[in-house]
Amino acid sequence: MQAPEVEFTAPDDGYQKRTEELFYAMPFVKLLGMKIAGIGPGWLDCELSNRPELQQQNGFLHAGVIATLADMSAGISAATLVGPESNTLSAEFKIVLLRPGIGERFIARGRTIKRGRKLSIAESWIYGVTNDKEKLVARGYLTLVIV
């Protein structure tokens, strides 16, 4: 299943660099080893390699890590649409775990579906990837406040 594409316009020419700096400035992102896989106005794809220290007792990617992938991809997708004077913070968050977190790596595709003046709504699709085959493992839904 592909994420629906909603067309947004970048707030300014510096949005991409500013968004990358925001993403990589977070210590938790560095700790997990997350990386940006793609970025544009209203969307962000990020990825993470699977490692034993990120797994739960059965060897699946921990639900907390999956939730972080959803939060980062959807939350930062909304951040691509605000100017340098603003930022986004998660206000409400829901994760739906569809199957165990199995994969050599994981990719999260965050998409903003509505950009408002004070709130934005974004979704995320999290896939486990093995031998370049993707399987949807979770969906995330976020409401973000623009500060």
Average pLDDT over every residue of 49-75: 98
Instruction: Assess contact for 92 and 142: CB atoms under 8 A.
Output: yes
Average pLDDT over every residue of 120-131: 98
Is 10 contained in some domain?
A: no
Is 7 contained in some domain?
A: no
Is 50 contained in some domain?
A: yes
pLDDT recorded at residue 45: 98
Residue 39 identity: I
pLDDT recorded at residue 3: 52
Residues 6+ apart with CB under 8 A from 6: 42, 111, 112, 113
| pLDDT class of 5 with cuts at 50, 70, 90 | low
What CATH number should be reported for the domain holding residue 82? 3.10.129.10
Is 62 contained in some domain?
A: yes
Per-residue pLDDT reduced to its tens digit, 78-102: 999 999 999 999 999 999 999 999 9
Alpha helices in the chain (DSSP H): 15-24, 27-32, 63-79
Is 4 contained in some domain?
A: no
Domain interval for residue 110: 15-146
pLDDT recorded at residue 7: 87
Average pLDDT over every residue of 32-42: 97
- Number of separate domains in the chain: 1
Is 65 contained in some domain?
A: yes
Is 138 contained in some domain?
A: yes
Q: With left for phi above 0 and alpha for psi between -120 and 50, is residue 72 left, alpha or beta?
A: alpha
Is 47 contained in some domain?
A: yes
Average pLDDT over every residue of 122-139: 98
